[in-house]
Amino acid sequence: MNKAELIDAIATTTGMSKTQADAALAATLGAIKGEISKGGSVSLIGFGTFGVSKRAARKGKNPRTGETIKIAARKVPKFSAGAELKAIANGEKKASAPKKAAPKKAAAKKKK
């Protein structure tokens, strides 16, 4: 599933327009990125936790020349899957299908 397919799924499930679903997804991802940039984490119970991990400085080798190089310490994003998501991935539990939103009712016209 790519981003466009995810937006379609959100729109179908929630009854939003694709534009609204795109905005909702963008806001969600923006909030997660914002928290990660501060060094924080975002926990979604049953799904997983987005966070930041620190990698220590280390030595590596240039594969072309074999020369030893220094690799600087850095922070990297990480995701830890929750128990429910792990169970779904292993086939131990079925993913609950999202319920489709009820169709929107047309606004009643007022008679004068």
Rounded average pLDDT over 85-99: 83
CA distances from 80 to 41, 56, 97 (A): 11, 20, 23
What's the confidence (pLDDT) of residue 109?
A: 59
- DSSP state for residue 96 in the 8-state scheme: P
Domain range annotation of the chain: 1-38, 40-95
What is the pLDDT confidence band of residue 4, given thresholds at 50, 70 and 90?
very high
Q: Which fold is adopted by the domain 40-95?
A: HU Protein; Chain A (4.10.520)
Residue 80 CA from chain centroid, whole number: 12
CA distances from 87 to 7, 18, 51, 105 (A): 25, 31, 21, 38
Determine the Cα angle at 98 with ends 36 and 30, to 5°: 20
The residue written with tokens 């923006």 in the block is 30
Rounded average pLDDT over 33-38: 94
* Residues 74, 69: Cα–Cα separation, whole Å: 15
What's the confidence (pLDDT) of residue 97?
A: 67
Alpha helices in 15-69 (DSSP H): 18-37
What is the pLDDT confidence band of residue 20, given thresholds at 50, 70 and 90?
very high
What is the pLDDT confidence band of residue 84, given thresholds at 50, 70 and 90?
very high
